[in-house]
Amino acid sequence: MAKVAGCPQRAYNSVRDESDPSKVPAYPPKRTRMKTSQPVDRRERVLLLGVSLKHRPRGKPDGPSVTSRDSLNELEELAQSAGANIVGTLLQVRDGLDPATLVGRGKLDEIRAEAQARSVPLVIVDHNLTPVQLRNMEKGTDCRVIDRTQLILDIFATHARTREGQLQVELAQLNYLLPRLTGRGQELSRLGGGIGTRGPGEQKLETDRRRIRERVGKIKAAIETVRRQRTTRRRARQAVPLGMIAFVGYTNAGKSTLFNALTHADVLTSSKMFATLDPTIRAVRLPSKRRVLMSDTVGFLRDLPPDLIAAFRATLEEVQEAALILHVSDISNPHHAEQDAEVLKVLHELGVADRPRLHVFNKMDLLSEEDKKVLTESRGNGGCNVFTSAVTGEGLQDLLARIDSAMPVDPIVKLRLRMPLADGRHLSMVQARGRVLHSEVVDGHFLLEAELPQSAARRLQEFVLE
């Protein structure tokens, strides 16, 4: 056998003797490829902080309230929707809120130690912080601190797709940032008091404030232009008697999934909170063959910032202009009653609490058969309550029938018509816009008994039989 070049060991060219293990050449071990490490989680590590006031319930005088824990769980869902990696949660129970630091100096030291131990650069507080509290908490924890409002604004900025939504989010962010400029960063030159502190003053700070105010003015003008365009389109829709139906509800209640199931649209559906931000309008034909417009709107949330509601005034105008409101609730959520109360609070703020409304209990597929029976018996399957599952399609036809009967715009009227056989245009309109109950041919005419929308009935007055 030829000698292998570059191979110093003769054992590579010798013949293996399987009968004598001692003569088996010792081959060098094969090189093994090193195992690849686990994928690195590049999400920002955050620490959640909740503050609860002592409500002193009977039997548990020092325990945190249930509402505070639910709010902290909701903050966790918001942080996950923003793409955070939650490494810890802290809940403090206090008699009252500290006006300077919210949680007290001792708690700030504990938060700083916890953040350093877990290598956390960001702390999210389940409370709306004042500029002073925000500045003191950042100094006391040596971490970047954001509050609930800023987290919601960040999620909104991520999900805004249309120009209108982006303008509204930017306006809310600038209004939030404006009173919090003082003390943010060491590059701001501030005028002090006393000997040796006189200097250039707050030039950088005032420049930033002026730029923000100018930008806010431009955004408000742009949003007003968008609002006028939306009003023009709305008037064009109102020229045709099509009723508007608005979907409202707590965030992540399944509004977009239900909207897609009824309209066959492709609106983004996600388990993340505030996945749907920009409004979407689609036309739907009801069982009576009336056409209506359905609008999917932004979800509501507990303690939604007033500035955010004001910024999304143009979006929420669809709710104010709706002839019928579908209040969608996640019936599988154990706290859906508290969520419904928050939705009703926002509807009161918008001035539409007295508008005709259907209460849709969604996600029935997540309940057991026993729970479904108890729910339908307690709530009743009549009146304004409808039970649906947007995923399985359960109750959707019943929902459309309820919408048809509750829709106040362009009501259905029953007519008896006598039309010539040759009048195909009006005959086709009756077939397309209404429902024929009975028909017969007499003396070259159609005698029809039909149910039609009032707008179509007005166009057939010459054929109506008294």
Place of tokens 């003769």: 10
Mapping DSSP onto H, E and C, the string for 209-243 reads HHHHHHHHHHHHHHHHHHHHHHHHHHHHHHHCCCC
> Measured in whole angstroms, how far is the alpha carbon of residue 21 from the centre of its chain?
72
**Angle of CA points 178, 182, 183, to nearest 5°:** 140
What confidence score (pLDDT) does residue 14 get?
Answer: 42
Model confidence pLDDT, tens digit, residues 18-58: 445 455 455 555 555 545 455 566 788 999 999 988 864 44
For the chain, domain boundaries: 44-156, 160-185+202-239, 241-406, 412-463
What confidence score (pLDDT) does residue 322 get?
Answer: 86
More confident residue, 311 or 108: 108
| Sheet strands side by side (includes 122-125) | 84-94, 44-53, 122-125, 144-147
Lowest model confidence (mean pLDDT) among 188-192, 298-302, 454-458: 188-192
What confidence score (pLDDT) does residue 68 get?
Answer: 73
What confidence score (pLDDT) does residue 155 get?
Answer: 82
Task: Please state the rounded mean pLDDT for residues 170-192.
Answer: 70
Hey, how many other C-beta atoms are within 10 angstroms of the C-beta on 100?
Answer: 15
The values of phi and psi at residue 361, to 5°, are -90, 105
Cα distance between residue 459 and residue 433, in whole Å: 12
Cβ neighbours of residue 160 closer than 8 Å, sequence gap 6 or more: 166, 168, 169, 277, 278
pLDDT above 90: residue 359: yes
Hey, how many other C-beta atoms are within 10 angstroms of the C-beta on 14?
Answer: 12
Residue-averaged pLDDT of the chain? 79
CATH of domain 44-156: 3.40.50.11060
pTM to 2 decimal places: 0.70
What confidence score (pLDDT) does residue 312 get?
Answer: 62
Model confidence pLDDT, tens digit, residues 94-128: 888 999 999 999 999 999 999 999 999 999 999 88
What confidence score (pLDDT) does residue 29 get?
Answer: 53
The CATH class, in words, for 241-406 is alpha beta
Task: Please state the rounded mean pLDDT for residues 140-149.
Answer: 92
What confidence score (pLDDT) does residue 59 get?
Answer: 47
pLDDT above 70: residue 270: no
What confidence score (pLDDT) does residue 233 get?
Answer: 76
The answer to whether the 44-156 and 241-406 domains have the same CATH topology is yes
DSSP notation for 234-280: HHHHHHTT--EEEEEEBTTSSHHHHHHHHH-------SSTT---S-E
Model confidence pLDDT, tens digit, residues 209-264: 889 999 999 998 998 888 788 778 777 766 666 788 999 988 888 888 899 899 88
